[in-house]
Structure 1
Amino acid sequence: MNRSNTGMSLAELLVVISLLAIAANIALPAFTHFAQQNRLEALVDQLQGQLMHARATSVANNRNVIVCGSQDGQNCIRDWTSGWLVASPGNGEILSRHQLTGERIRWAGASQHIRFHSNGTTSMGNGRFYICDGQEEVRWQLILNRQGRIKRVQGLEKNQQVTKPCG
């Protein structure tokens, strides 16, 4: 009788499982870093989109629009770490809001909020957002100039020395 061996031995199966476990241990930290980078980039995209939308709304409707940090989605505060809201100060209408879950955003500007005038400019000059990772490192910056335009920078700019922008 001639039998063909179609299965794997226990030793072969253990070797394959061991190799898969080693590969998973190597890939998991890289995947975690990749997922965190994607989450931060999505946050930057969303914040930049909301700022551009606030500016466009102020120009289209010929009224002031503010963007400010908010903890409850209703009131402006200086701290942006819990989220932000976009509102029309004239009638108190909240146009949009975003709550954060663990990400770190810090606004460094002359005032606690950003006010877009009906011509799309901001009143208080330049400012910048620092978007930080879990290790308190700056991963992205959104730089807002007085004309209301946004410049996106990955990490810190050349020769930029900032002490604890995320701390």
Structure 2
Amino acid sequence: MYRPARPVRPRGWTLLELVSALVIVGVLCAIALPSLASGLSRLRADMLRMQLVSVFNSARSTAITRHAAVAVCPSEEGRQCGGDWSRGWLIHLDRGASTLSPAPEDVLQYRQGYHDTSVSARSSQERRRLRFQADGRSGGSPLTVAICARAQLQGEVVVNNVGRTRATRQRGSVACPH
């Protein structure tokens, strides 16, 4: 017995279905993007907090090992001290002068920071450097670096007079102090 063949329906999407799906995906991405950017800034702030603890401990260890004063300061380009710890930092031998531009031969280490403008880290009393003496003590007053993301305080790194470093993470929403 002869049966007529069923018409074959083309498989795939029509152009209208494809455009509709892309519009829906685009709208969902636009809704989710601000919260993803905020989460990324908080993640970078947490990473910066841990890196600053590491760099302060490294500078202290270098001062003890070399039996010489060592300073660490925020630096964006690696040649002179700046004001924002999130842009990078510079560890250098401290020859006694309170200069913010160490000699190139005194630079021990430079690490580049973040270029995310939503993350910032400023020190207390606008101190632009931290000096460790040859015995590892930090002279002067304790240094507190406030780490902020999107104008909200995310945490702090504190170096006391003995030279010990500790970090705290902010719980809840608090405006950035600077």
1:149 maps to which residue?
164
Match of 1:126 among 132, 142, 150: 142
Match of 1:94 among 99, 103, 107: 107
After TM superposition, give the deviation of residue 164 of structure 1 in Å: 5.9
Matches within 5 A, 1:15-54: 15-54=20-59
Q: Is the 8 A contact 1:143 1:152 kept in 2?
A: yes
SS of corresponding position for 1:130: strand
Match of 1:65 among 70, 77, 96: 70
After TM superposition, give the deviation of residue 112 of structure 1 in Å: 4.3
SS of corresponding position for 1:66: strand
After TM superposition, give the deviation of residue 75 of structure 1 in Å: 3.6
Tell me, in whole angstroms, the C-alpha distance in 1 between the residues paired with 2:9 and 2:77.
Answer: 69
Q: Is the 8 A contact 1:110 1:124 kept in 2?
A: no
Please give the root-mean-square deviation of Cα atoms over the aligned residues, in Å.
3.0
Tell me, in whole angstroms, the C-alpha distance in 2 between the residues paired with 1:111 and 1:16.
Answer: 54
Query: TM-score with structure 2 length normalisation?
Result: 0.72
Tell me, in whole angstroms, the C-alpha distance in 2 between the residues paired with 1:37 and 1:142.
Answer: 15
- The number of residue pairs the alignment matches comes to 160
Task: Name the amino acid aligned to 1:45.
Answer: M
Q: Is the 8 A contact 2:94 2:131 kept in 1?
A: no
| Unmatched 5+ stretches in structure 1 | none
% same residue? 22
Tell me, in whole angstroms, the C-alpha distance in 2 between the residues paired with 1:23 and 1:149.
Answer: 47
Tell me, in whole angstroms, the C-alpha distance in 1 between the residues paired with 2:14 and 2:126.
Answer: 70
Task: Name the amino acid aligned to 1:144.
Answer: V
Tell me, in whole angstroms, the C-alpha distance in 2 between the residues paired with 1:8 and 1:149.
Answer: 64
User: Measured at CA, do residues 9 and 59 of structure 1 come closer, stay the same or move farther in structure 2, by a change above 3 Å?
Assistant: same
User: Measured at CA, do residues 8 and 96 of structure 1 come closer, stay the same or move farther in structure 2, by a change above 3 Å?
Assistant: same
User: Which protein shows a greater Rg?
Assistant: 2
After TM superposition, give the deviation of residue 74 of structure 1 in Å: 3.0
In the TM superposition, structure 1's runs of 4+ consecutive aligned residues that sit over 4 Å from their partners are 109-112
2:100 maps to which residue?
none
* Greater CA drift, 85-94 or 137-146: 85-94
With a CA cutoff of 8 Å and minimum separation of 6, indicate the structure with the bigger relative contact order: 2
